[in-house]
Structure 1
């Protein structure tokens, strides 16, 4: 039995498996569903954001019909479901509006993510050789941190121009001899 004492692991796979993923707007095209799908969740920590997105995705989210009382300012200013604080109190105290735990400011995260995304997009289109050269340069300059500053972006563009100007052919000879001088191997 699955509920017997001590038997906490299941030996068989689940009996009924879904063939397709659940879509909350498959048969329901109401205004409420469209509104929930377009809802932008902000002012909460990453964990709470994931929870609220799951609730929306699987039609478990129940929006508020009337504003709730904020725990911080004692006013009826909470407009979003599952939130304990209004957006004003949460931003002033730098805590999550849902779980009331300290959260890092959203501004610092977006400032750090934009350069990394910009760098990834720039490097994605490059050939492997150029990409590795640029990554080596970045790691030397910033000790492994891959943030894209305007100075670094200018250096990367300069390096790309220099690399484009240098064209290596398969016929290129990597010997220390000067062109025009004959070697001893040609006489044999």
Structure 2
């Protein structure tokens, strides 16, 4: 902007523009940074949620090392940084736990835990030959993408594993006496030439 009196609007766009977006974990892959990036911001109003998310996004969020004192119950129960009220008091009063205003509070629904393979399934999968193991992994990835209930998914995967289990009768590839002799004679003829 110029120092000309009354000229408050700039006529040109900004001179230096960022070519790439800021990444808060580009040079820092520590567990602390991962934990901060995975935080769920809830029990606060929309404005406070945006403020905290901005702090997380631009690496300005500093987590608490020790619990803070709640302004309502005077107990050391505040576990989140930038909050002044514990979640219990916030739920009781219906106020934002950061600014203590009676605005609409944002609640994040708990997501369903991702499906994990238990010991029994790991043991069965380990016994499968490579080709069937890959078939099962493709099938499992497809089913996980369908957003099934964990119990239904487990039952479905166990059925598929039972289908893929190795039968000793299926994998016996014994050659008969005629085939063995003919193959040996072919090799001996090639060696003689």
C-alpha separation between the residues in 1 aligned to 2:102 and 2:44?
10
C-alpha separation between the residues in 2 aligned to 1:25 and 1:99?
28
Does residue 57 in structure 1 map to residue 63 in structure 2? Answer: no
1:147-173 deviation digits (Å, cap 9, x = unpaired)? xxxxxxxxxxxxxxxxxxxxxxxxxxx
TM-score normalised by L of structure 2: 0.51
How many corresponding residue pairs? 109
Question: Looking at both structures, which has the greater relative contact order when contacts are Cα pairs under 8 Å and sequence separation is at least 6?
Answer: 2
- Counterpart of 1:101 in structure 2 is 101
Deviation at 1:4, TM superposition (A): 6.1
- Counterpart of 2:21 in structure 1 is 21
Deviation at 1:21, TM superposition (A): 0.7
Q: Tell me if structure 1 keeps the 8 A contact 2:82–2:98.
A: yes
Deviation at 1:53, TM superposition (A): 0.6
Q: How does 1:61-76 map to 2 (within 5 A)?
A: 61-76=61-76
Deviation at 1:9, TM superposition (A): 2.0
Cα RMSD after superposing both structures: 2.1
TM-score normalised by L of structure 1: 0.53
C-alpha separation between the residues in 1 aligned to 2:63 and 2:11?
40
Unaligned runs of 5+ in 2: 110-193
Unaligned runs of 5+ in 1: 111-188
Deviation at 1:76, TM superposition (A): 1.2
Q: Secondary structure at the match of 2:68?
A: coil
Q: Which structure has the greater CA radius of gyration?
A: 2
Deviation at 1:11, TM superposition (A): 2.0
- Shift of the 106–17 alpha-carbon distance from structure 1 to 2, 3 Å rule, reads closer
Deviation at 1:105, TM superposition (A): 5.4
Deviation at 1:40, TM superposition (A): 0.7
Q: How does 1:1-188 map to 2 (within 5 A)?
A: 1-2=1-2, 6-104=6-104, 106=106
- Counterpart of 1:148 in structure 2 is none
